[in-house]
């Protein structure tokens, strides 16, 4: 089925699909009142001041966009949001000033990052339609004649990275094949739940750096997947004089990885300069808050304009220092972890890699996967075609979802380019035997230690929760209660064990 489509037909279908998804997402934002009316108050340096009565919806660090004639444009990044005044550090070209930023102009603004991915995909599709191509594009749309991996690497140290457990034979096979890839090669790794996907990624990334001197991108659509894949890797890389950097919004990154973010890797001199500038910026923002109170949020005072100019100057100085520091850290890093979207934006937009590893790639659409893959010379896609497929707003048919999944598409197109991770380590033996038999056609097996996996219960009044029973279903006449961030069974409800 995969071979019966011409390049032009597939690319046209992808463009129409991404355009529909973008339109649907935008309409959804309008419907859910996530687009807000604002008025331009002034423009000083690279800082644009907007008045928005619902400005409390925006936080420092948000990417702000605006809608004009149905098109999406990106202003820049929020640097302050106070008493309805939203200040944005601009990233539009200077020649756009007169077109977009005339005072008193009304605009419709929104938090733009969720929509950026659609424009990135459409730009890539436009390049392909214009005749541009590379080896990654040919994997999807060219003749399916890629050769299987010729395994030339032998792993001598088969211990997992960070502990004494040994890799099983399927994990060793996966790592050795990854280390054997040459430019233009790719590998599909089928990793059912609990079979050690992140173990393989960490081990492979470490040896790609140590043994081959490579620069590696570890990416996924989900921040959580990126965090899991690189957690602890930086410590091992530092032992050999290398580093791992996590690029992304701090609030979306696991706090355990904050030390891997670019700002945490600045040298002492740069860090001191940044801290001094941050103090000056905070003082200027306090002055701004006082000015706004006095002017009753009119935004017309000369005092506010001067403050905006001061903030613009401070932010320009800070951003220039930050830019140089981040670019140095990213350029020197041996492994970079980021989501696919972030890999296309500053500071990674112009950074290329030797190997690109995409985790949870069965959930990644073809065009999203290509955005990451065209930045590298060889590729590893890790996924599970039996689990969740890409989630679309405009596609409900499973056969189309499979066709649009990068992992499933390549798996059907190149069956001899895949390896299974075959041993399961997470669940009790009796639990995992069911999906192994009825979902995975007995391609995975529980490891011997699975027989020891039991519920570790604290004091509990529900005597039916016997740790010796691998699974217990409890029927309740009611629903779960939420306590803080955790969901808990309402023990006041009557239950009937089954």
Q: Give, in order, the Cα–Cα distances in Å from 472 to each of 129, 401, 455, 497.
A: 55, 34, 11, 8
pLDDT at 334: 98
Kindly report whether the global pTM for this prediction surpasses the value 0.85.
Answer: no
Over residues 457-479, the mean pLDDT reads 72
Cα distance between residue 406 and residue 394, in whole Å? 18
CB of 217 within 8 A of CB of 245?
Answer: no
Q: Which of 403, 413, 410 is nearest to 383 (CA)?
A: 410
221 has a pLDDT exceeding 90: yes
Over residues 299-304, the mean pLDDT reads 69
Over residues 3-9, the mean pLDDT reads 63
* Residue entry with tokens 């945490």: 264
Residue 97 neighbours by CB under 8 Å, 6+ apart: 43
Over residues 4-31, the mean pLDDT reads 81
Mean pLDDT lowest among 75-89, 203-217, 339-353, 475-489: 475-489
119 has a pLDDT exceeding 50: yes
Over residues 419-427, the mean pLDDT reads 94
pLDDT in tens, 131-188: 999 999 999 988 777 788 899 999 999 999 988 899 999 999 999 999 999 999 999 9
405 has a pLDDT exceeding 80: yes
> Of residues 292 and 356, which shows the higher confidence score?
356
- H-helix or E-strand containing 93? none
Cα distance between residue 264 and residue 398, in whole Å? 43
The encoded tokens of residue 34 equal: 């996530």
Q: Which of 272, 268, 230 is nearest to 248 (CA)?
A: 230
446 has a pLDDT exceeding 70: yes
In the predicted model, what is the mean pLDDT of the chain? 85
> Of residues 4 and 434, which shows the higher confidence score?
434
Residue % of the chain over a pLDDT of 70: 87
Peptide bond into 347 cis (omega under 30): yes
The encoded tokens of residue 385 equal: 């075609």
């Amino acid at each position: 089925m995969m071979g019966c489509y011409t390049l032009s037909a597939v690319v046209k279908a992808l463009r129409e699909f991404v355009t529909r998804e973008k339109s649907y997402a935008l309409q959804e934002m309008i419907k859910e009142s996530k687009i807000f009316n604002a008025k331009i108050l002034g423009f000083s340096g690279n800082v644009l001041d907007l008045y928005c009565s619902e400005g409390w919806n925006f936080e420092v660090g948000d990417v702000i966009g605006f809608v004009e004639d149905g098109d999406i444009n990106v202003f820049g990044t929020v640097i302050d949001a106070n008493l309805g005044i939203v200040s944005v550090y601009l990233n539009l070209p200077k020649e756009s000033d007169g077109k977009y930023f005339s005072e008193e102009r009304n605009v419709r603004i929104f938090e733009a990052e969720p929509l950026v991915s659609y424009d990135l995909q459409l730009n890539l599709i436009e390049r392909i339609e214009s005749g541009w191509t590379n080896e990654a594009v040919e994997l999807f749309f060219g003749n399916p004649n890629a050769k299987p991996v010729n395994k030339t690497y032998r792993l001598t140290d088969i211990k997992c990275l960070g502990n004494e457990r040994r890799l099983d034979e399927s994990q060793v096979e996966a790592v050795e094949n990854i280390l054997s890839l040459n430019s233009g090669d790719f590998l599909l790794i089928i990793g059912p739940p609990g079979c050690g996907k992140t173990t393989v990624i960490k081990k492979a990334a470490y040896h790609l750096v140590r043994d081959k001197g490579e620069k590696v991108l570890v990416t996924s659509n989900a921040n959580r997947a990126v965090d899991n894949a690189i957690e602890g890797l930086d410590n091992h890389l530092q032992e050999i004089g290398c580093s791992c950097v996590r690029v992304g919004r701090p609030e979306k990154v696991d706090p355990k990885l904050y030390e891997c973010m670019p700002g945490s890797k600045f040298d002492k001199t740069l860090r001191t300069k940044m801290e001094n500038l941050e103090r000056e910026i905070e003082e200027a923002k306090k002055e701004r808050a006082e000015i706004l109170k006095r002017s009753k949020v009119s935004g017309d005072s000369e005092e506010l304009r001067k403050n905006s100019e001061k903030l613009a100057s401070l932010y320009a100085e800070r951003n220039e220092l930050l830019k140089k520091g981040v670019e140095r850290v990213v350029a020197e890093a041996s492994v970079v972890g980021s989501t696919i979207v972030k890999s296309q934006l500053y500071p990674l937009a112009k950074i290329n890699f030797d190997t690109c590893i995409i985790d949870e790639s069965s959930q990644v659409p073809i065009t999203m996967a290509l955005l990451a893959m065209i930045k590298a010379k060889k590729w590893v896609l890790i996924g599970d075609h039996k689990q969740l497929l890409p989630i679309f707003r405009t596609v409900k048919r499973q056969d189309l979802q499979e066709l649009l999944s990068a992992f499933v598409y390549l798996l059907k197109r190149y069956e001899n380019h895949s390896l299974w991770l075959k041993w399961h380590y997470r669940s009790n033996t009796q639990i995992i035997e069911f999906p192994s038999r009825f979902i995975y056609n007995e391609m995975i097996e529980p490891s011997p230690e699975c027989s020891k996996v039991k519920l570790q219960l604290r004091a509990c009044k529900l005597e039916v929760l016997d740790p010796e029973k691998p699974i217990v279903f409890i029927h309740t006449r009611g629903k779960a209660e939420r306590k803080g961030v955790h969901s808990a069974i309402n023990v006041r409800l009557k239950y009937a064990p089954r």
